[in-house]
Amino acid sequence: MIEDKGFILFLDFYKAFDSVEHPFILKALEYFGFGHKFIKIIDMLYNDINSSVSLSWGTSKRFEVKRGIRQGCSCSPLLFILVAELLAILIKNSPDIEPLNVLGKNLSIIQLADDSTIFLKSSVQIPLVIKRIEIFSKASGLHLNLKKCELMAIHDHSIIDLYEIPVKKEVKYLGVVITKENKARVDLNIGPSKKKSELILRSWLQRDLSLFGRILITKIESLSRVMYPAFSVAIPDSLIKAINQTNFNFIWRNKHHYLRKGDSVKPLEEGGLNVIDYEVMNGMIKLKWLKHFLQNINGFWFHIPFKIFEVCGGIDFLLRCDFCLSKLPIKLSKFHEQVLLYWKMIFKHNFTPHNSPIWNNRYILVKRKSS
């Protein structure tokens, strides 16, 4: 998939939102073609302003503020995005910085607010990127915190650090721990949340809550913690069962379950309790990902799965086939396997010998693989 011995550089800036120079914000607005009237309004909001610090005995003396974006202002995130976009333009247009080639598509930088990640073809590119960012820092006021920057090698690497930046096998990015090992990925992303929710539910058992109160607590304190990782991690069946068991045991106070799980998840109008089954939640999250994929099949974020499923005629065609995961002529990640598994569980009744294509068919094999 990736032949280059590349690296992923996770950047960290010192207090990014509080460090942006006001003149740089105005120059960014001018660069992107915002009108003179709009720029004057922003200039009015940030020009000749002062502030003070609230202390226990009162407030400090007022001081002039020449940098930083106002917190709580609806314009602030948009203004910072413009500043971050200039960094992306600088990196992409630097001829000496080679992007990482992923299945025929160049990938150089991805950003979300103040989180920036740079993809490099080789380790030689690292000091070049740092020099470019230093130039950007002098103009914008954003300065790299090299002690908190991290590197991850695309392929296995024995080096501990490069250019005083640690090379790690596990990196937490946007709330998700990224690692190559599937078991470690599950343990690091789901394990801590599961343990924390178990402790919280145990403490809530000491209170005299109603049945519906306990159901509400499972949604707030348990399911909410394990929902976000499911968008990027394949959850094993054993872990799904363990989470469900913890929740349902809490609902019934670790005593006899007076209602079957299949009935308790039904709406109140049908005699149920509106309990959420984590297996169903995980399935809906995976199918939601599939929906986004089908709606944005040429989107940047779906380039890798698009190329993988292209071998089988494309994802749209594969979903209309009576396939078996183990017999497909492609190697899928656990996440993609789980997506297709939930799809098959819902739509398996649509497959008959009369309307199923011969390609990717689980019954028509060549050397034990679908063709």
Alpha helices in the chain (DSSP H): 16-19, 22-31, 36-46, 76-92, 125-140, 182-204, 211-217, 224-227, 237-251, 261-264, 278-295, 303-310, 315-318, 334-347
**Residue 227: pLDDT over 90:** yes
72: in domain: yes
Q: Between helices 278-295 and 237-251, what is the axis angle to 10°? A: 130
**Residue 349: pLDDT over 70:** no
**322 and 197 share a domain?**
no
287: in domain: no
Average pLDDT rounded to a whole number, residues 132-149: 88
Q: Which domain holds residue 316?
A: 296-370
For residue range 9-67, list pLDDT tens digits in order.
999 888 888 888 888 999 999 999 988 999 998 888 888 888 888 888 888 888 888 88
Q: What pLDDT sits at residue 20?
A: 87
**163 and 200 share a domain?**
no
User: Which residue among 168, 186, 220 closes a domain?
Assistant: 168
**13 and 110 share a domain?**
yes
What's the whole-model pTM score? 0.83
Count of structural domains within the chain: 3
The token pair that represents 307 in the structure block: 């190329």
DSSP for residue 364: S
Whether 5 and 101 have beta carbons less than 8 Å apart is answered as no
**151 and 221 share a domain?**
no
35: in domain: yes
**Residue 97: pLDDT over 90:** no
Q: Which of 185, 153, 147 is nearest to 168 (CA)?
A: 153
**156 and 16 share a domain?**
yes
**164 and 181 share a domain?**
no
**Residue 233: pLDDT over 80:** yes
**Residue 252: pLDDT over 90:** yes
DSSP for residue 254: T
Q: Which of 175, 120, 176 is nearest to 151 (CA)?
A: 120
Q: What pLDDT sits at residue 274?
A: 92
Whether 15 and 67 have beta carbons less than 8 Å apart is answered as no
Average pLDDT rounded to a whole number, residues 273-285: 93
User: Which residue among 282, 314, 339 closes a domain?
Assistant: 282
**18 and 162 share a domain?**
yes
For residue range 176-201, list pLDDT tens digits in order.
998 888 889 999 999 999 999 999 99
**24 and 153 share a domain?**
yes
242: in domain: yes
Whether 125 and 98 have beta carbons less than 8 Å apart is answered as yes
Residue predicted with more confidence, 80 or 58: 80
Q: What pLDDT sits at residue 317?
A: 87
Q: What pLDDT sits at residue 350?
A: 64
Q: What pLDDT sits at residue 351?
A: 65
When pLDDT is cut at 50, 70 and 90, the band that residue 1 belongs to is: low
The token pair that represents 60 in the structure block: 């400090």
- Whole-number average pLDDT of the chain: 88
290: in domain: no
**Residue 220: pLDDT over 90:** yes
Average pLDDT rounded to a whole number, residues 63-84: 85
Whether 31 and 146 have beta carbons less than 8 Å apart is answered as no
**Residue 75: pLDDT over 90:** no
User: Which residue among 143, 168, 193 closes a domain?
Assistant: 168
Residues present in the chain in total: 371
**142 and 216 share a domain?**
no
What does the alpha-carbon distance between residue 122 and residue 303 come to, in Å, rounded to a whole number? 22
**43 and 17 share a domain?**
yes
**137 and 183 share a domain?**
no
